[in-house]
Amino acid sequence: MKITIIGSGNVATYFAIAFKSKGYNIAQVYSPHILLANELAERVQATPCSAIEEISPDSDFYLIAINDDALKSFSEKFRVKDKIVMHTSGFHEINVLKNVSLNYGVFYPLQTLNKNISLPTEPFPICIEASDDETLKKIKELAYSIDGDVHIILSQRRKVLHVAAVFANNFSNHLYSLAEKILKKENISFGLLRPLIKSTAENVMHRSPSEVQTGPAKRGDEEILKAHLEILKDDPELKTIYELISSGIRKNVHNS
């Protein structure tokens, strides 16, 4: 079974290594940047290429793991007749691939992946969709073969899931960055917050986030809220974020 990887970034790297570890033949790695194609291809014993016309039509699966902004443009240029082509985007609909091949689908990893740090070893959700039942069956088998937690989720619902993932992952990580910024002003180590962050994450593993919400906004402690805003008065961005999130917490308490 031959797989061609389109891309060389975080998602492409994870899946190339995952497929290779399960015995798949990674035939090619494509990237418009040949040095990046070479780097990943060497890790999975594949042939690198940097031109779309150099991509062989002989693979069984083509996984397009490239930037969302580049997916539509790439799909307008790439053709492989009836081979199975999948994209990994949480945002783009399945039909972006309808002119690429007769058989196409989605292979969206619901996980943060970074090729420069240790890649996840525990199963995580892989959200799939396909152009037809037979293609869906083959994509599902592929996802299960790398120990994926497989979910069939159609395009519109996947977009909603993607938005929720941005809140849960990207936004929360940005808040960690802002917390670090606040601490740096007083030369306080961010490490002091790590046990709290870990505890918060563990709490929502088994309970609804609204059930485990804590803090002055949840308690309605106006004096502490005012004192916190006073600390943040010299940073309008932080002050605004604090006010907006505190307001959201209070509304959630009243509506629950």
pLDDT level of residue 96 (50, 70, 90 thresholds): very high
Residue pLDDT, tens place only, 139-177: 999 999 999 999 999 999 999 999 999 999 999 999 999
pLDDT of 254 > 80? The answer is no
Give the model confidence (pLDDT) of 99-117 as tens digits: 999 999 999 999 999 888 7
Given a contact cutoff of 8 angstroms between Cβ atoms, the answer to whether 156 and 106 are in contact is no
Count of C-beta atoms within a 10 Å radius of residue 32? 15
pLDDT at 121 (0 to 100)? 77
pLDDT of 118 > 80? The answer is no
What average pLDDT does this structure show over 47-53? 97
3-state secondary structure the chain: CEEEEECCCHHHHHHHHHHHHCCCEEEEEECCCHHHHHHHHHHCCCEEECCHHHCCCCCCEEEECCCHHHHHHHHHHCCCCCCEEEECCCCCCHHHHCCCCCEEEEEEECCCCCCCCCCCCCCCEEEEEECCHHHHHHHHHHHHHCCCEEEECCHHHHHHHHHHHHHHHHHHHHHHHHHHHHHHCCCCCHHHHHHHHHHHHHHCCCCCCCCCCCCHHHHCCHHHHHHHHHHCCCCHHHHHHHHHHHHHHHHHHHHC
Mean pLDDT for the chain overall: 95
Average pLDDT over residues 6-13: 96
Tens-digit pLDDT profile for residues 181-193: 999 999 999 999 9
Measured distance CA(160)–CA(164) in Å, rounded: 6
Nearest CA to 176 out of 112, 233, 91 is that of: 112
pLDDT at 256: 62
Residue 5 one-letter amino acid: I
Question: Which residue reads 């006010």 in tokens?
Answer: 243
Virtual torsion, Cα 115, 90, 158, 202, nearest 10 deg: 30
In this prediction, what percent of the chain has a pLDDT beyond 90? Answer: 93
Q: Strand pairing of 125-130 and 61-64?
A: unpaired
Asked whether the beta carbons of 91 and 72 are under 8 A apart, the reply is no
> Which residue type is seen at 21?
S
Q: Specify the pLDDT at position 116.
A: 80
Residue 252 pLDDT: 84
Q: pLDDT exceeding 70 applies to what percent of the chain?
A: 99
Q: Is the CB of residue 27 less than 8 Å from the CB of residue 59?
A: yes
pTM above the 0.85 mark? yes
Sheet holding 103-109, edge to edge: 47-49, 25-30, 2-6, 61-64, 84-87, 103-109, 125-130, 149-152
Mind listing the pLDDT tens digit for each residue in 64-95? 999 999 999 999 999 999 999 999 999 999 99
Structural domains of the chain, ranges and CATH numbers in brackets: 2-153 (3.40.50.720), 159-255 (1.10.1040.20)
Give the model confidence (pLDDT) of 188-209 as tens digits. Answer: 999 999 999 999 999 999 999 9
